[in-house]
Amino acid sequence: HLLAARNDKLVDQILANVLVLIDPIQNPDGRDRFVHYFEQARGLEPDASPVAAEHLEPWPGGRVNHYLFDLNRDWIALTQPEILDQVKTLREWFPLVYVDLHEMGADSTYFFSPEADPYNPHLTADQRQSLKLFGQNNAKWFDHYGFDYFTREEYDAFYPGYGASWPEYYGAIAMTYEQASVRGLVVRRSDETLLTYRDTVRHHFVSSVSTLETASVNREKLLDNFYKYRVTAIEEGTKEPIKEYILPRSRDASATDKLVGILLEHGVEVKRATAPFHAGDRDYPAGTYVVPMAQPSKRLIRTLLDPQTSMDDKFIAAEEARRKLKERTEIYDVTAWSLPLLFNVEAVANNAVTQGNFEMAKPGRVLPGETHEAKGMLAYLVPWGSEAAGRLLAAALRQDLKVFSSDKPFTQNGTKFPAGTLIFKAAGNPADLAEHLARLARETGADVYGVNSGWVDEGVNFGSRYVLPVRKPAIALAWDTPTAASSAGAARFVLERQYGYPVTPVRTAQLDSVELARFQVLILPDGGSYAALLGDAGIQRVKAWVQAGGVLVALGGAVGFLTDSRVGLLDTVQENLVRDTGEKTPEADRGAGAAVTPAGGGGRGGGAGPRGAGTLIASDADYEKAIRATNELPDSAPGAIVRARIRPDFWLT
């Protein structure tokens, strides 16, 4: 339209003031699946029935990409190439207005800004004002054409990892526009009106041109706000209590390196210590990372690295009131995302600017590991407990190297090696084992230690019964219903793309007939109804395979399959919340409030009869206590990151 329109004053104004970048298809894999299925299912004419096959895609649906990721949730983790390339392009151009055009359920209308509460606290007042400005102009045009719409409902602005969120943290205005979807060419809605594909295209077209008009008219304001956003970010970074984050490499160096690599891909400036330094009450070694707050990305840094991003008190109070009444939460989606907690690495908030010797950190998620000692060693050790060690193990198994793992920790030559440490014995491995491992150390980031004796200072020797061979496993992954596509895709992606190890996806319905003995590991992704799908025969096959030594891994809801009474592979006890209600009455034990019995007594017919003991409700607090169940399931939390303490000597850990 912008290229073809002639003698159109609005288009001329837009082209004079606005540079427009268009990404027509964010998810080509999902779109191909969607269109291909629709063409397979369509009949003589488009079917408006919402239950027609053409509207209901089979697993995994069209929303997800090749590895079944929801690309609209990947903007802070940056795992998928589609989003990583968008972020790279946005950082090159810094567009000041970003719109992500989406679809929602057919019975909705159209959503645009301003968003619902809660807002992320790192969004500025200028941004919130501009969001309203764009919404008002969209409303003007939708009113002109008689299109229905809604704002300030359902879609909040809290999570920074949407496409319609991430650009706000470099200073842009970012919005999601949601159109009721046809999932085809025409659909009948619950109010019996027909929604056509043409309608949906027209609505998105009008909102897009309206957005360009708003950007054009407010060009100078948007440029000024963008500049102020980045300058004030630097100023806040110099004044606020947190002056920098220190990221030591002590807990898991490879995970810390990966986190820093992701921060660099976000455009964050990170320093790396070239010498030891002291900060706060700690000494830090060379290689430690420091993320200063006095930079334009300060607000992005805080929302990514802070352990807690708080919602405003008013929204929390409203949520608590809804929770008390057992009403549905109004939180839309993700509420917990602190990257240091997700990566299980340290992030130390420092209230001063560290002095020392630093260089700018270099891009890259994997730094080469070190090889201590070289050729002619009796064995080579790789300490367990890091992502890098996992990558090296996967690569070594694929290259058919012989590797052992110690179930017990040990100390050798003053160096402590944790349980799980990998042991590559020279005997039984290729003559060029040292070169093999040196290359793998560079590629995976793992450290390799050569030793010339099996004698240890403390712990188990290499010939101990606690030192066991690691066999090269064949891994099967349940694929298709009833798995959650996102869980199945993520499990496969992590193993194949982050650890470089192949996986065999097996249609879940085939697990009752496939020869499971070919596999050593079976992964059941998050999902339900495994038992119903497999049936008694399938359940018995899986149980027999486990009893013969197979390793069964259940994720999320799939744990319910292991605990199912028909399966019985894992024992659980339901956890209940028991409330302290003070002195219990029989009525309170039943979870009901007791009213005072009227003096006239009697039931519905008014006849006299035995009276139960009354309960005096003397205050609002007594009333609240009386009506609450004394025994109920714990509340459901929309999102949380939980610190867990495990027993390392238990079989599951």
- Whether 613 shows a pLDDT value over 90: the answer reads no
Residue 408: per-residue pLDDT: 94
Please, what is the end-to-end C-alpha distance for the chain in angstroms? 60
Q: How many CA atoms lie within 13 A of 561 on its CB side?
A: 29
Give the pLDDT mean for 219-246.
98
* Per-residue confidence band for 608, with pLDDT thresholds at 50, 70 and 90: low
Long-range CB pairs of 45-51, under 8 A, 24+ apart, other chains included: 46/184, 46/185, 46/186, 47/184, 47/186, 48/186, 48/187, 48/188, 48/194, 49/188, 50/106, 50/187, 50/188, 50/189
Encode pLDDT of 178-198 as tens digits.
999 999 999 999 999 999 999
**Coil vs helix vs strand at 609:** coil
CB of 73 closer than 8 Å to CB of 150: no
Residue type, 175: M
Residue 473: per-residue pLDDT: 97
Encode pLDDT of 500-553 as tens digits.
999 999 999 999 899 999 999 999 999 989 999 999 999 999 999 999 999 999
Nearest-angstrom CA–CA distance, 447 and 415: 13
Residue 455 CA, chain-centre distance (Å), reads: 45
Nearest-angstrom CA–CA distance, 638 and 322: 13
- Whether 605 shows a pLDDT value over 50: the answer reads no
